Structure 1
Amino acid sequence: MSKTRTPAGRHTANVVSLVAGLIFCGIAFSWMLIATEVLSTNDLAWIVPTLLMGAGITGVVASISRNKKGQRR
């Protein structure tokens, strides 16, 4: 397994960690909105699917852009 060299102080993004972080941030933000009564628990029917779709789309875009950068070399 060869390691790709990156400029000093930079490293490649881990897509799985990015998507997991987005999901956790979305859950925390949803909880905050429900706790402050901006949203009700009935709103979870659209919040959770939207959160998961957004994290999934972000993961796909990050994977595609990472693969395209690897092909240019």
Structure 2
Amino acid sequence: MRRTYKRLSELVNSSGIEYNDATSRIVTSEEWWNRNIKENVIYKDFKDRDVKEIYIKYRQLFDDSYEADKYAITQ
């Protein structure tokens, strides 16, 4: 799960990429997909796929900016 989230995060942080909340999909041109899938074949797993669970739910688990310390158990 963490690896999948990291890959999606890298993808979303690329220029020319947008996450569409209404469709839960990555929005970019077909040309961008073709070019970048050649460079990183893993990106094809996110093309034309609903990525809401990964993008929203996994972010709470794995994102570095998530405030994990807020819920830490202290003694």
The verdict on a shared fold, with TM-score over 0.5 as the criterion, is no
TM-score range, shorter chain: under 0.3
More helix by share: 1
Q: Higher strand fraction: Structure 1 or Structure 2?
A: 2
TM-score (norm 1): 0.28
TM-score by length of 2: 0.27
Larger Rg: 1
